[in-house]
Amino acid sequence: MYRYDEFDHAFVSARVEQFRDQVQRRLSGEIADDAFRPLRLMNGVYLQLHAYMLRVAIPYGTLNSKQMRMLAHVARKYDRGYGHFTTRQNIQYNWPKLSDTPDILSDLAGVEMHAIQTSGNCIRNVTADHFAGAAADEVADPRPYAEILRQWSSVHPEFSFLPRKFKIAVTGAPRDRAAIQVHDIGLHLKKDEAGNLGFAVYVGGGQGRTPLIAKKIRDFLPEEDLLTYVTAIVRVYNLHGRRDNKYKARIKILVHETGVEELTRQVEAEFDHIRDGELKLPDADIRAIENYFAPPVLSDRPEGWEALARAKKADAAFSSWASQNVQPHTHPDYGMVTISLKPIGGTPGDASDKQMDVVADVAERYAQDEIRVSHEQNLILPHVALADLYSVYQALEASGLATANAGLITDIIACPGLDYCALANARSIPVAQEISKRFGSPARQAEIGELKIKISGCINACGHHHVGHIGLLGVEKKGAELYQITLGGSGDENTSIGEIIGRGFEPDRVTDAVERIVDIYLGLRLEPKETFLEAYRRVGPKPFKDALYGEAAESA
């Protein structure tokens, strides 16, 4: 993983001291709240419903054990003993005192972490495939390019005050695990016929009030042109993006209103103007960053296959966990382990300080000292020998971290909702907990198979409900909470926006509605291997509407 150089250390330390002075002046009354707001947001500090919230960046979701222990320390010393991992591969603390935030940032700087550009109308944390550098289907590791983008975008003088926030995601495998088509810029790392690395470039995706799927504007961009072309895109957006209406300020609206052909023409014109300038990446610079992400030297462990088979035979719970939460590694004697932060009835994405310490210990001992955060609010151990899987499982199970539900119906994505967020219209967490309990039986989850439920407490879509196989959007109507259901969404390489199927459901009826949808799916699928998404795309919304609304579905 990337390690700070002298500039990085000096820059982050100076930023901490600058913010310390700003906080002191705010607390003394020297700075008014309105003037302080943009300053705190530049450092990841939000004012939520009940308290301040601090969002800490985890660039492209990669961290080591030392950093995870520091996150645990922050939760223990400055918060209420837990942190919340987000869909942007960050972590949020919901209860820090404003007076403590400079000390928190100072502690984080000691392990090469910060909260810069986790908020504001700037280029946010660049995200990537959480299996990057380990996945068996990977063309190349996308993280070096994400790091190049991070360095380029950090406090960029031209792009620090964009019309609206700006999000970039990078993936390096045919299977898109980074949801690149619902980002402002999505980059798909690939090779051309000659074996050269480059990117398919997507622009204008996003969720929220106006969910749109990104348009491909370049099928192959050579890797040396990455910064030049991205600069061209952001310049066009910065020049023409709307600043009079924040609801129409994202680049997706610019693409929609301008037209993809005209926007592409403008981007290409700017690219031609600057393509041979200082932003062209020398091969030596790319390879230097790439060296930071060299895969660990993994010794052959062929005995792991027999050990794994023996352990699975002896322990049914382990067998279920290994089958569901372990994915193939590029090295056949290893696997990629998903640590579910979705215990049955729990809060999606939350981890206690003690659990974070356990993950750090396990990663240090068994997983090459490497941890990932997924955009699905789980943690990943990317390099675990099959021979060590049972020991890893036992350590995780003792701390409530061995729920065998990765990709299943209880692996729910949910935003903090009205329990924490000042923008929310409805609660997300209690709904997620109730659905999780309703479908908590391992046998029932196995029968249902892959099914992604995603819940947002408001139209901002922090819970990614638009791309859930089943999406739930909390809305407010006449002072009461309702949950609007969408079906058929997906955030993978075949991205789709879910369809609204009818009127919303009250909090005490929404879980029943989800159960009815699942029952209809189980009754109409052609075979057990046909997933919910495949079945929905085959039959469409009508059977589900009829089941939920009866005759009213005809006029809905």
Beta carbons of 453 and 473 less than 8 angstroms apart: no
The verdict on 353 and 251 lying in the same domain is no
Beta carbons of 169 and 186 less than 8 angstroms apart: yes
Give the orientation angle of helix 389-397 with respect to helix 316-325, to 10 degrees. 100
Residue of 485, 494, 459, 454 lying closest to 213 (CA atoms): 494
- Strand partners of residue 46: 53
The verdict on 352 and 425 lying in the same domain is no
C-alpha Rg value of the chain to the nearest Å: 23
Q: Could you tell me the two tokens for 427?
A: 């609660």
Q: Could you tell me the two tokens for 148?
A: 């190049």
- Strand partners of residue 455: 414, 472
Residue 332 lies in a domain: yes
The verdict on 178 and 211 lying in the same domain is yes
Beta carbons of 440 and 482 less than 8 angstroms apart: no
The verdict on 247 and 362 lying in the same domain is no
Task: Name the pLDDT band for 551 (thresholds 50, 70, 90).
Answer: low
Which amino acid appears at position 556 of this protein? A
Last-in-domain residue among 363, 398, 433: 398
Task: Name the pLDDT band for 524 (thresholds 50, 70, 90).
Answer: very high
Give the per-residue pLDDT at 514. Answer: 98
pLDDT tens figures, 68-99: 999 999 999 999 999 999 999 999 999 999 99
Other Cβ atoms closer than 10 A to 25: 14
Residue 251 lies in a domain: yes
Token pair 């700006």 is found at 166
Burial of 51: CB neighbours in 10 Å, binned 0-12, 13-18, 19+: middle
Letter string b/e over residues 309-326, b meaning 16 or more CB atoms within 10 A of that residue's CB: eebbeebeebbbbbebbb
Task: Name the pLDDT band for 554 (thresholds 50, 70, 90).
Answer: very low
Burial of 514: CB neighbours in 10 Å, binned 0-12, 13-18, 19+: buried
Q: Round to whole Å and give the CA distance between 517 and 523.
A: 10
Residue 403 lies in a domain: no
Beta carbons of 253 and 242 less than 8 angstroms apart: yes
Residue of 153, 149, 92 lying closest to 122 (CA atoms): 153
Question: Structural domain tally of the chain?
Answer: 4
Q: Round to whole Å and give the CA distance between 276 and 513.
A: 57
The verdict on 433 and 321 lying in the same domain is no
User: What rounded mean pLDDT belongs to the chain?
Assistant: 97
Last-in-domain residue among 398, 430, 449: 398
Strands 413-414 and 62-63 turn out to be unpaired
Residue 385 φ/ψ, nearest 5 degrees: -65, 140
Last-in-domain residue among 293, 317, 339: 293
The verdict on 235 and 257 lying in the same domain is yes
Residue 117 lies in a domain: no
Give 48's Cβ-side CA count (13 Å radius): 22
- Per the structure, the complete domain to which residue 534 belongs is given by 413-550
The verdict on 431 and 484 lying in the same domain is yes
Task: Name the pLDDT band for 511 (thresholds 50, 70, 90).
Answer: very high
Q: What predicted TM-score, i.e. pTM, was given to this entire model?
A: 0.96
Residue 302 lies in a domain: no
Task: Please state the rounded mean pLDDT for residues 221-246.
Answer: 98
pLDDT of 550 strictly over 50:
yes
The verdict on 386 and 425 lying in the same domain is no
pLDDT tens figures, 391-434: 999 999 999 999 999 999 999 999 999 999 999 999 999 999 99
Query: What CATH code is carried by the domain that includes residue 524?
Result: 3.30.413.10
Q: Round to whole Å and give the CA distance between 265 and 261.
A: 6
Give the orientation angle of helix 33-41 with respect to helix 6-27, to 10 degrees. 160
Q: Could you tell me the two tokens for 524?
A: 């109409």
Strands 215-222 and 197-203 turn out to be antiparallel
Query: What CATH code is carried by the domain that includes residue 316?
Result: 3.90.480.20
Task: Please state the rounded mean pLDDT for residues 14-39.
Answer: 97
pLDDT of 369 strictly over 70:
yes
The verdict on 343 and 491 lying in the same domain is no
Residue 91 lies in a domain: yes
Burial of 8: CB neighbours in 10 Å, binned 0-12, 13-18, 19+: middle
* Terminal CA-CA length for the chain: 52
Beta carbons of 482 and 431 less than 8 angstroms apart: no
Strands 470-477 and 453-456 turn out to be parallel
Q: Round to whole Å and give the CA distance between 532 and 166.
A: 32
Residue 131 lies in a domain: yes
Q: Round to whole Å and give the CA distance between 102 and 25.
A: 13
Which amino acid appears at position 224 of this protein? E
Residue 121 lies in a domain: no
Helix then strand count (H, E) for the chain reads: 18, 20
Q: Round to whole Å and give the CA distance between 363 and 179.
A: 26
The verdict on 179 and 93 lying in the same domain is no
Share of the chain above pLDDT 90, in %: 98
pLDDT tens figures, 286-336: 999 999 999 999 999 999 999 999 999 999 999 999 999 999 999 999 999
Instruction: Give, in degrees to the nearest 5, the angle at Cα 70 between 69 and 73.
Output: 90
The verdict on 278 and 153 lying in the same domain is yes
The verdict on 137 and 271 lying in the same domain is yes
Residues 6+ apart with CB under 8 A from 504: 475, 477, 482, 483, 484, 485
Give the per-residue pLDDT at 555. Answer: 40
